[in-house]
């Protein structure tokens, strides 16, 4: 029997470790770039020196962000240690990408209103959740029916960044629109049941643990995709959640129509959520929990946004009259 190809081995090892499909695509992408960078040599023929050269190339020639360079490093360490069984020495000859402190783009309350007023209805609720609950767009689209508590006005975010769960608030203004969306999702769910479709997609481990879950209402996506999609693990056509691109494009178009002179993305709404809460006097630790940050230092960047313009110091020119 022939030995599995390298990328098949990588996929099998990632899936055995219950890594997400997004991580699988990312790691395979970096391993492929690493192999191509070295003239399609097999990783077994290479080692620490070639890894250092590739990572230095990313920092010096490509000028990638530190997080991007670390992502590539993690992918290659996984390849050598977990797939090839090779213990690498300490990688000390890597030119590191320089971390450039950046203040996030934040909208004023009026700019948020102007933006949301121009977001079309199919995307309005998703985008409103980013600002109203501090969600990442992937977290909003991955919401399942059982994660929504309309009575207590809260949402449970499952397997967020870093693999953590958290509970965040739900704006009362979104109760009725969200109830309407749940009714629409229920209609799709019942049509799928009547048609005998395999149900909704689940993470691989959950699908094994709860085999009946794909056809149970609490596990359905709040924002189901309009069409069935092929599951990358089983190859079966299932109901997945909507793709983020349509909503991201809606934000960009709305920002242009509103005439906003800022670089606005869907993530800008999450930044604005955090900044406006701190501006309203909420404790930084509370905001940290709502955002799901592991370290309060990450949340503290929003205090720098509020101190913009010389750390909140009033310019002497403002007191001189005309």
Give the residue numbers annotated as catalytic, written as ranges.
136, 161, 267, 270, 293, 302
- Quote the DSSP letter at residue 32: H
Q: Which of 128, 239, 134, 130 is nearest to 185 (CA)?
A: 239
Tokens matching residue 283: 């404790």
Q: Which of 140, 158, 171, 161 is nearest to 247 (CA)?
A: 140
Q: Which residues contact 49 (CB under 8 A, 6 or more apart)?
A: 93
Whether residue 217 contacts residue 145, with contact meaning beta carbons closer than 8 Å, is answered with: yes
Burial group, residue 130, by CB count within 10 angstroms (0-12, 13-18, 19+): buried
Whether residue 290 contacts residue 262, with contact meaning beta carbons closer than 8 Å, is answered with: no
E-assigned strand segments in the chain: 148-149, 154-157, 166-169, 224-230, 237-241
Tokens matching residue 169: 């608030």
| Cα–Cα distance for residue pair 220/201, rounded to 1 Å | 9
Q: Which of 109, 116, 128 is nearest to 174 (CA)?
A: 128
| Cα–Cα distance for residue pair 201/219, rounded to 1 Å | 9
């Amino acid at each position: 029997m022939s030995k599995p190809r390298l990328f098949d081995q990588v996929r099998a090892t990632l899936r055995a470790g219950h890594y997400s499909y997004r991580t699988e695509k990312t790691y395979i992408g970096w391993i492929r770039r690493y192999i191509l960078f070295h003239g399609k040599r097999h990783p077994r023929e290479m080692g620490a020196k070639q890894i250092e050269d590739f990572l230095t190339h990313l920092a010096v020639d490509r000028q990638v962000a530190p997080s991007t360079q670390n992502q590539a490093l993690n992918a290659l360490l996984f390849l050598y240690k977990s797939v090839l069984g090779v213990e690498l020495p300490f990688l000390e000859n890597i030119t590191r990408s320089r971390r450039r402190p950046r203040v996030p783009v934040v909208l004023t309350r009026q700019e948020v209103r102007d933006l949301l007023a121009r977001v079309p209805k199919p995307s309005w609720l998703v985008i409103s959740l980013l600002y109203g609950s501090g969600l990442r767009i992937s977290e909003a689209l991955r919401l399942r029916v059982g994660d929504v508590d309309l009575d207590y006005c809260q949402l449970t975010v499952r397997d967020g960044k870093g693999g953590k769960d958290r509970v965040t608030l739900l704006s009362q203004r979104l109760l009725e629109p969200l109830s309407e969306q749940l009714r629409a999702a229920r209609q799709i769910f019942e049509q799928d049941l009547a048609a005998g479709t395999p149900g909704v997609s689940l993470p691989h481990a959950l699908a094994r643990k709860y085999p009946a879950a794909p056809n149970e209402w609490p596990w359905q996506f709040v924002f189901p995709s309009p069409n069935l999609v092929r599951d990358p693990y089983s190859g079966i056509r299932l109901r997945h959640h909507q793709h983020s691109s349509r909503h991201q494009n809606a934000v960009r178009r709305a920002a242009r129509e509103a005439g906003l002179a800022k670089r606005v993305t869907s993530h800008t709404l999450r930044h604005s959520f955090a900044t406006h809460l701190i501006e309203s006097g909420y404790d930084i630790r509370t905001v940290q929990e709502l955002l799901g940050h592991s370290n309060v230092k990450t949340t503290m960047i929003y205090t720098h946004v509020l101190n913009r313009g010389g750390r909140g110091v009033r310019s002497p020119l403002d007191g001189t009259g005309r």
